[in-house]
Amino acid sequence: MHGTTILAVRRDGHRAAIGSDGQVTVGGNMIVKSTARKIRRLYGGRVIIGFAGAVADAFVLSDKFESHLEQSGGQLTRAAVETAKEWRADRTLRRLEAEIIATDGKSILLISGGGEVLEPDDGVLSIGSGSGFALAAARALLRHTELAPVDIVRAALELAAEICVYTNASIVVEEMGDL
């Protein structure tokens, strides 16, 4: 996925944050928007998602995911697995080009069209073209500071914006959990 950076950090097992930059790039060489919002709250605000990829595809998938959240009574993992199964099995959905990171504050999950539902071991997950930069910065901050997840996400995305041409400094961060 090119043209965005989404980062999620969980600390202490019950606090998490997801953030994104605001840049939308078309064709790999043209910035068409610098203040896009790639973070959404679902299920009455109890789940936060961030998405990378084609915007229309991401909205279709977030609607599917929210539907599965409703059906599962808000069980994040069950909804993620059901979304991934439907995404992988449906011929139309299979063509969608997007990825989603979701958190309920207790877990962070990556949901992708390859059928993956992954939870990171270290509580840090990132997608998009600037994901490697943001991931490295967040892991260092998580290991070597006592910063809250929201502060780690913001700082790591700011660092990624300094390095990655597909990531800008128009950052939005949402947090979930015991604050």
End-to-end CA distance of the chain: 32
- 6 three-state secondary structure: strand
Of 4, 5, 83, 167, which is the active-site residue?
Answer: 4
User: Is 4 a residue of the active site?
Assistant: yes
Residue with the two structure tokens 């011929």: 91
Mark out the alpha helices in the chain (DSSP H runs). Answer: 55-71, 76-89, 131-144, 149-163
Quick one: how far is CA 109 from the chain centroid?
A: 8
For residue 155, how many C-alpha atoms fall within 13 Å in the half-sphere facing its CB?
15
Rounded Cα gap, residues 103 and 46, in angstroms: 9
Active site residues: 4
